[in-house]
A and B are shown apart, each in its own frame.
Chain A
Amino acid sequence: MLMRLFDSDRAGSVMLTLLALLIAVVPVANLLVPPESSLHLSTYTVTLLGKYLCYAILAIALDLVWGYCGVLSLGHGAFFALGGYAMGMYLMRQIGERGVYGNPELPDFMVFLDWQALPWYWQGFDHFWFALVMVALVPGLLAFVFGWLAFRSRVTGVYLSIITQALTYALMLAFFRNEMGFGGNNGLTDFKDLLGFDLQAGSTRVALFVVSAVSLAVVYVSCRAIVNSRLGRAVVAIRDAEDRARFLGYRVHYFKLWVFTFSAVLAGIAGALYVPQVGIINPSEFQPLNSIELVIWVAIGGRGTLWGAAGGAVLVNYAKTSFTAVLPEVWLFALGGLFIVSTLLLPRGLAGLFKRSKDAS
């Protein structure tokens, strides 16, 4: 069945092959090749690559709702951040007595705020399995409730985009509050280890990278399976002619709700993989700007292709890393220019360019 899935998806096969290659090469280049060799890959680079892969998962999640379902969410960063916070809470609990205040029960920021007991919503995060469930459940539940309200009352297009933006904005304001119990301004940081492995160790970083790469592959394959299925075709029909699909008897809002929720879960997983690698999660991840930047990765890569979105995420972020290192003040000009150019000249993104040249030949 997997073979049939990729008969018509050459680019996807290329992407998966590339991922397999990375999974094979990166650990060797980082752990086995000696540091003085020119083939050595520094731990910093491994972490950076791992971060890009998390962004790629997030981009695929957005492409699923935007590219295939026509729902432009300007709040996907919120689901990403919620997944990240769920993982961050587990990592906070792992610190135990090694915090600055050495309190075995409470994280540092709670000691600092003079809290006496762990709030109820922190219970259970000592267990890794519980955190994993929450990584999927919290963003999924929020997306389900939000989507259920929005799609049922047929909030579409721009209105939906604006209220998703308001959603992430409201969450940002809420998480900035110290009273929320998520570390306020500073968020969650100073993580020590994950499942007993030291987060600073190179081998843990490589393992996280491999997990991210495998997750990306799994996410890609499952999304591809979804869009190729009957469900996927119905979703595309809804994107192109919502009213017609409704008149044909499809329960449009069920389809939208399902895709939106699934996408939010994927975004949450991306966030959970992201946090142990960068070592911090704070409310600025909820910024509306982050969510919009995410949209541009997908737009530049080419929406409605999945692999284009993943490629766009890696490319734009690679450009961001290089630009902000060399010419920090040019980055926003470049990003803004990218937005304008890609919407005006490349409505189907780089993937569209690639496809067109292939069609022409």
Chain B
Amino acid sequence: MDYRPVIVMRMFTLLVLVSLWVAVPVSAADDPDVSFASVLAPLNTRDFEAKSRAIAAISELKHERAGIVLQALLDGSLSSAKSTKRIVLVREIETGYEVEDAVTAAPLGMLKRTELKRVSVNNKLRRQLRELIAHRALGANDPVARRKAVEAMTDALDATGRALLIKLRSTESDDDVLHAVDIALAIADLESSSTEERNDAIDTLHGSLNPLARGRLAALVAADDTADDTRRAAASALTAIEQRVAFFEFLQVIFFGLSLGSVLVLAAIGLAITFGVMGVINMAHGELIMLGAYTTYVVQLLMPQHIDWSLLVAVPAAFMVAALVGIAIERGVIRFLYGRPLETLLATFGVSLVLQQAVRSIFSPLNRSVSTPSWMSGSIEINSVLSLTYNRLTIIIFTLVVFAALMAVLRYSRLGLEVRAVAQNRAMARAVGVRGSWVDAMTFGLGAGVAGVAGVALSQLTNVGPNLGQAYIVDSFMVVVFGGVGNLWGTLIAGMGLGVANKFLEPSAGAVMAKIVVLVFIIVFIQKRPRGMFPQRGRAVEN
């Protein structure tokens, strides 16, 4: 019962305010809260005429809470507290009714249902409220808010709303809002009695992505009393709409596919270096990705205040960690096994088990949570069908940047030159003074480092746990082999292609089945073209 003192206090304040208003009318009229409260007071009657006048008065006031109060009245969440007769906003929560002052938004604690009396409205008042709310929103400064208001009015546009929109059209400068107004008027005009107006409206709606337009046109086509030419025009407009929707849905699937493909490319691209360029089967590749993801986790632990910037630190850190571990693997194990690919496969698999268990012992076998920076949430809404989420967009761009950087290193740096020389002809490269074993270590470090960077990206998408790497190892090998060993462009195209193919299969086959279909496709493809889509040519192939 702790709200009672509050209410008593509030009552007292109100009394004081009212007495002030009575005593000093001039200053009270200046105080917007007081005048707002006085305008609200008539709502507490049974007289709908009085309520209607009160609603008009509320709307006249330029009080910041006026919009909220009108909306609450429409929603039926405006009540009067029986004890104090004051108008309050009510929000139903699990334990009861939470109440706040309609004028000041000050919380008034919890009340029981019996202590409240809802301010009732009838249909006439509802119509008035809707108009006023829309009208207020149409006058908003923010064009997006104005467009939203127009769109909200589109569904049930009456004569007054129409007049408002036509008025808005003459003053509006924002193109998006104008477009929304045109669509809204056209949808209303579909029911017009004038054939000309109807046909104009159909023309306007030709290819519109507004879901309402689609429904109304479909209804018009289906209706019995539609004139033949109107029906034909509507049908063609509808076809145009469906084509556009299909087109944007297609783009959306491509976008999803590219983002999935980016993940595949990121996971595979380090392998494209170690496997593709050096010919080393590194089964610990997945665990190097996992190390990158755990590095992200540690970086975020170290800088909890700056999660937004943590990824910028994590990328170089993950690169270094994974590269160092990679170099250690190369020096410790792989260099003894060059030319024996199957043995390399087994030994590096052993390394992967050790790394997994090490992570399990250090960080616990449970998944760790890595936070997503705030700038990666949200999306760009192109239209009602197509929206690009920032996290997917980021991963696509990130993949392309990593790819470009890797290509640049291989192409323009001294190390890249030496890597290519050793890959093409080890003996000759050594003869002209390239330190073969040093280049091996650096190449492997580069591939491992890129795997670590992939781990940073993957930490944003999947659970960071000891099994993270295993989930990607089969996929990575598939992408590299499919694209053609020793061909980075092949890896890029294969990864993106497989990602898109997967997303196109998903709606009809389901996610798991799509994956199986893609795997089987690759298995069959490799039988047909054992060296992938873009095989290396020349003498270097046969060794």
Interface membership of chain A positions 264-307, coded 1 if the CB is closer than 8 angstroms to chain B and 0 otherwise: 00000000000000000000000011001001100100000000
Report the count of interface residues on A (CB-CB < 8 A): 42
Q: Which residue of B lies closest to A243 (CB)?
A: B542
- Beyond A158-B341, A295-B346, whether A166 also contacts B522 by CB under 8 A is yes
Nearest CB on B from A82, distance (A): 16
A153 in contact with B354 (CB, 8 Å): no
The yes or no answer to B222 lying at the interface (CB within 8 A) is no
Q: Does B309 contact A (CB under 8 A)?
A: no
* A329 lies within 8 A of chain B by Cβ: yes
B347 engages A158 (CB within 8 Å) = no
A340 pairs with B350, CB closer than 8 A: yes
Contact check, B346 vs A336: say whether CB atoms are below 8 A apart. Answer: no
* B356 pairs with A340, CB closer than 8 A: no
Q: Is the CB of B350 within 8 A of A339?
A: yes
Cβ of B346 and Cβ of A296 under 8 Å apart?
Answer: yes
Contacting pair A288 B527 (CB below 8 A): no
Q: Restricting to A155-169, which residues have a CB under 8 Å from any CB of B?
A: 155, 157-159, 161-163, 165-167, 169
Query: By the criterion CB–CB under 8 Å, are A339 and B519 in contact?
Result: no
Q: Are B481 and A339 in contact (CB under 8 A)?
A: no
Q: Which residue of B lies closest to A292 (CB)?
A: B349
Q: Decide: A344 and B526 in contact? CB cutoff 8 A.
A: no
* Closest Cβ neighbor of A168 among chain B residues: B474
Contact with B along A142-157 (1 / 0, CB 8 A): 0000100110111101
Q: Mark B324-351, 1 if CB is under 8 A from A, else 0.
A: 0000000001001100011111110111
Interface: A33 (CB within 8 A): no
Instruction: Convert A328-361 into 0s and 1s, putting 1 for each residue whose CB lies closer than 8 angstroms to a CB of B.
Output: 0100110111111011100100000000000000
Q: Which residue of B lies closest to A177 (CB)?
A: B512
Q: Which of B281, B336, B344, B477 has the most CB of A within 10 A?
A: B477
Cβ of B301 < 8 Å from any Cβ of A? no
Check A159 against B526 for contact (C-beta < 8 Å): yes
A-B contact count (CB 8 A): 118
Q: In the bound complex, do residue B341 and residue A344 qualify as a contact, i.e. CB atoms below 8 Å apart?
A: no
B345 A158 Cβ-Cβ under 8 A:
yes
Give the distance in Å from the alpha carbon of A166 to the alpha carbon of B342 in the complex.
16
Is A149's CB under 8 angstroms from B527's CB? Answer: yes
Q: Is A173's beta carbon under 8 Å from chain B?
A: yes
Q: When the two chains form their complex, are residues A343 and B350 in contact, meaning their CB atoms are under 8 A apart?
A: yes
The residue that A177 contacts in the complex, of B281, B343, B513, B527, with Cβ under 8 A, is: B513
Q: Find out whether the CB atom of A344 lies under 8 angstroms from the CB atom of B530.
A: no
Contact B516 A159 (CB under 8 A): no
A240 to B34, CA, bound (A): 98
**Nearest-Cβ distance from residue A282 to partner chain B, whole angstroms:** 16
Q: Which residue of A lies closest to B275 (CB)?
A: A158
Select which of B336, B344, B470, B520 is within 8 A of A170 by beta carbon: B520
Knowing A163-B526, A166-B523 are in contact, say whether A174-B354 is a contact too (CB < 8 A). no
* Interface residue A176 (Cβ < 8 Å from any Cβ of B): yes
Tell me the minimal C-beta distance from A193 to chain B in angstroms: 34
A136 interface residue per 8 A CB criterion = no
A337: which B residues are within 8 A, CB to CB? 350, 354
Question: CB of B114 within 8 A of chain A?
Answer: no
> Would A157 and B342 count as touching, CB distance under 8 A?
yes
Most buried by B among A72, A170, A289, A295: A170
With contacts A149-B524, A163-B523, A174-B516 known, is A339 near B353, CB below 8 A? yes
Interchain CB contact under 8 A, B354 and A333:
yes
Contact assessment for B342 and A161 in the assembled complex, using a CB-CB cutoff below 8 Å: yes
Could you tell me the distance in whole angstroms from the C-beta of B416 to the nearest C-beta in chain A?
25
Asked if A155 and B512 make an inter-chain contact with CB atoms under 8 angstroms apart, the answer reads no
Chain B nearest Cβ from A17, distance in angstroms: 31
Q: List 15 A-B contacts (CB under 8 A).
A: A152-B527, A155-B527, A157-B342, A159-B481, A161-B342, A162-B477, A163-B523, A169-B474, A173-B516, A332-B353, A332-B354, A332-B357, A333-B353, A335-B353, A344-B333
**Residues of B in contact with A (beta carbons under 8 Å apart):** 281, 283, 333, 336-337, 341-347, 349-354, 356-358, 360-361, 470, 473-474, 477-478, 481, 512-513, 515-516, 519-520, 522-524, 526-528, 530
Q: Which 10 A-B pairs have the closest CB atoms?
A: A339-B350, A336-B353, A336-B354, A332-B357, A170-B519, A340-B350, A149-B527, A336-B350, A343-B347, A343-B343
Known contacts A157-B342, A165-B474, A165-B477; 11 further A-B pairs (Cβ under 8 A) = A72-B342, A158-B281, A161-B281, A162-B478, A166-B477, A166-B519, A333-B353, A337-B350, A339-B350, A339-B353, A343-B347
